């Protein structure tokens, strides 16, 4: 059984905040630009909210002092405080609504731009990336930016204003007490941040260890038959015991650290508060400070301490935003498939050679030292059916990928109806083709929608005719909902033969000049293969077709068969000619299938 280390799943990677990182974030400005007016108003509301927040402790101190200096002002100050609170609530509400409106619309535009770019990237890019990773870029990473634009940025500005403005107001209230506070509080806050960082690391270690213990459960239960067959129950229970004990030990250490942190907060923060109040009381006793001023001073100190502590969390979130931005921009900086080229219509082409490869060599970017095609030359006359056969790894599917221009050859060239491939616009070229693969992908819609994928905008009668041509009409009508039957994710509600015939109907509707069949019947039972093969013969009649076949019996009627081995064509001819060559490679393949 595979023993693997399971890592805990985190969010976006955290990147150090550098000038280059901030410049990259600035590249997102075009998505915010259309809403810069609303964003600016939101910033004004943020400044007003922060200012009203700073005014609150001062007014509260004045209210306390009024009890002994001027009782007639008590009601006036209480009403003023109430007004400040109402204004702060209104300013905060307006700021949040505006920031959310701007962020949601800007990030919707970014998501659309990302997807529009992603879907135009070349196929090799998707071979190097996992679908889950790409989906995560569109969801989680942009979600991190959403949090940054709606709350993190506002929190950073607010905390800077509170720290700066609070220190200025503290100095204005009592410079002596301010110096005393600055000698104590920052050290306590910094120590608390260090303590908190260690607790977070310990918490992550506990999560990782817990994930490893869960992996034991997942592995052993998913492979329970293997566990029992090899009588490994005892070893698996021991393995799980060791992992859970490791989790418990780490959690105990984390508990000790958390307990120490709580004790430190009680001693440190409350001790600093007691020290500031003690110093303030001595200043009150000497007449240098009023009671209300001390109250304002203590509240301001709490605001400043909380803001300094909150900066660590804001910094972490900005680090995530930098990481998310770099990941998104790396994707946006990846070159898409070439979108230029000339319009193309095979019916207007003068050449009778539908497809012509000339000395093509190709290696996949991930394995540049392993040649897949070597000096490969290949011709397909207009209207003929040409089959590619050979052992796995001979290069057949690569030829199909080159025909679709999923890849670009390293050397050599190829033409379509006499026009070099690179001169034809990709959309125009692929519009001339239809692919029926071995593993048919149906989208999670209705049967009608999947057939119409071949030619969006087709009429319902055209869909019905395509289904009839593909031997799919009868089984479709047997469903209660007929053409409106939902096929499920990837077409799981249909059998393999049914999915194959839907794919053929899709190709019929497209009415391609070049039909590509990639082992379209290799995974079907005899009855389904007969129906599919009959539909394919109808579809291929009079149409240029390139067929990859594993079962040689399915290509007996091809106009020519190209036998491939190690990226080259080693034999060429009809089935009868190739089968008659006793020393030929095709004859050996045929004998292996017969026996």
- pTM (two decimals): 0.70
Looking only at the bridges linking them, the beta strands covering 419-420 and 411-416 are antiparallel
Question: Which 8-state DSSP code applies to residue 348?
Answer: G
Can you read off the two tokens belonging to residue 28? 């997102």
Q: How many helices (H) and strands (E) does the chain have?
A: 21, 10
Domain boundaries, the chain: 13-173+318-337, 175-288
248, 253, 255, 260 alpha-carbon torsion, rounded to 10°: 170
Q: Give SS3 for 373.
A: strand
Can you read off the two tokens belonging to residue 65? 């002092």
Q: Give SS3 for 14.
A: coil
**CA–CA gap between residue 528 and residue 521 (Å, rounded):** 8
Can you read off the two tokens belonging to residue 425? 């616009």
Q: What is the pLDDT tens value at each position of the chain, 595 positions in all? A: 444 443 434 455 565 566 666 677 777 778 888 888 888 898 899 888 888 888 877 777 888 877 777 777 888 888 888 888 898 899 889 988 988 888 888 888 888 888 888 888 888 887 777 777 777 777 777 777 777 777 777 888 888 888 888 888 888 888 888 888 778 777 777 777 777 778 778 877 887 788 788 888 888 888 888 888 888 889 889 988 998 898 888 888 888 887 887 787 777 777 777 888 888 888 888 888 788 878 888 887 777 777 776 777 777 777 777 777 777 888 888 888 877 777 767 766 777 888 888 988 988 877 888 888 888 888 888 888 888 888 888 888 888 888 888 888 889 888 888 888 888 888 888 888 888 887 777 888 888 888 888 788 888 898 888 888 888 888 889 888 888 888 877 667 788 778 888 888 888 888 888 888 887 665 556 666 677 777 777 788 888 888 888 777 777 888 888 888 888 888 898 888 888 887 888 888 888 776 5
> At the topology level of CATH, where does 13-173+318-337 sit?
ABC transporter transmembrane region fold (1.20.1560)
**CA–CA gap between residue 112 and residue 336 (Å, rounded):** 16
**CA–CA gap between residue 280 and residue 300 (Å, rounded):** 14
Q: How crowded is residue 457: how many other Cβ atoms within 10 Å of its Cβ?
A: 6
317 closest CA partner among 7, 11, 5: 11
What are the backbone dihedrals phi and psi of residue 433, each rounded to the nearest 5 degrees, phi first? -120, 160
């Amino acid at each position: 059984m595979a023993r693997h280390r399971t890592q805990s799943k985190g969010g976006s990677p955290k990147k150090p905040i550098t000038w280059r990182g901030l410049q990259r974030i600035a590249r997102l400005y075009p998505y915010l630009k259309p809403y810069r007016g609303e964003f600016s108003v939101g910033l004004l509301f943020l400044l007003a909210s922060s200012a009203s927040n700073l005014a609150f402790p001062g007014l509260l101190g004045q209210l306390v002092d009024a009890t002994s200096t001027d009782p007639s002002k008590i009601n006036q100050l209480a009403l003023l405080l109430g007004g400040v609170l109402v204004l702060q609530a209104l300013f905060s509400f307006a700021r949040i609504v505006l920031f959310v409106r701007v962020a949601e619309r800007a990030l919707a535009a970014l998501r659309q731009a990302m997807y529009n770019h992603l879907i135009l990237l070349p196929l090799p890019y998707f071979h190097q990336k996992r679908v889950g990773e790409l989906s995560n870029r569109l969801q989680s990473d942009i979600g991190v930016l959403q949090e940054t634009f709606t709350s993190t940025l506002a929190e950073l500005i607010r905390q800077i204003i509170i720290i700066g403005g609070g220190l200025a107001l503290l100095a204005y209230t009592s410079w002596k007490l301010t110096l005393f506070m600055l000698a104590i509080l920052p050290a306590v806050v910094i120590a608390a941040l260090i303590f908190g960082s260690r607790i977070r690391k310990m918490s992550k270690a506990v999560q990782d260890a817990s994930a490893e213990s869960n992996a034991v459960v997942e592995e052993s239960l998913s492979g329970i038959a293997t566990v029992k067959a090899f009588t490994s129950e005892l070893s698996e229970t021991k393995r799980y015991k060791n992992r859970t004990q490791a989790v418990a030990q780490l959690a105990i250490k984390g508990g000790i650290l958390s307990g120490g942190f709580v004790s430190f907060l009680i001693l440190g923060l409350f001790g600093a508060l007691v020290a500031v109040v003690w110093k303030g009381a001595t200043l009150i006793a000497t007449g240098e400070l009023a009671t209300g001023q001390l109250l304002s001073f203590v509240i301001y100190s709490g605001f400043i301490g909380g803001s300094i502590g909150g900066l660590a969390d804001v910094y972490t979130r900005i680090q995530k935003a930098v990481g998310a931005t770099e990941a998104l921009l790396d994707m946006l900086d990846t070159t898409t498939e070439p979108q230029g080229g000339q319009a193309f219509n095979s019916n207007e082409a003068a050449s009778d050679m539908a497809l012509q490869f000339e000395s093509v060599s190709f290696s996949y970017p991930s394995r540049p030292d392993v040649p897949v095609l070597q000096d490969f030359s290949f011709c397909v006359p207009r209207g003929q059916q040409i089959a590619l056969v050979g052992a796995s790894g001979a290069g057949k599917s690569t030829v199909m990928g080159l025909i679709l221009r999923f890849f670009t050859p390293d050397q050599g060239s190829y033409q379509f109806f006499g026009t070099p491939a690179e001169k034809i616009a990709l959309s125009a070229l692929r519009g001339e083709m239809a692919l029926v693969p071995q593993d048919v992908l149906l989208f999670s819609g209705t049967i009608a929608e999947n057939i119409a994928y071949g030619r969006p905008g087709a009429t319902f009668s055209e869909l019905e005719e395509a289904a009839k041509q593909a031997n799919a009409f009868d089984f479709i009508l047997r469903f209660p909902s007929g053409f409106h039957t939902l096929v499920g994710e990837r077409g799981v509600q249909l059998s393999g033969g049914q999915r194959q015939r839907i794919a053929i109907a899709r190709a019929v509707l497209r009415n391609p000049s070049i039909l590509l069949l990639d082992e379209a019947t290799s995974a079907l039972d005899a009855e389904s293969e007969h129906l599919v093969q009959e539909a394919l013969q109808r579809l291929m009649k009079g149409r240029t077709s390139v067929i990859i076949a594993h079962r040689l019996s399915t290509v007996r009627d091809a106009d020519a068969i190209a036998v491939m081995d190690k990226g080259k064509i080693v034999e060429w001819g009809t089935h009868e000619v190739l089968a008659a060559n006793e020393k030929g490679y095709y004859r050996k393949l045929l004998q292996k299938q017969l026996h």
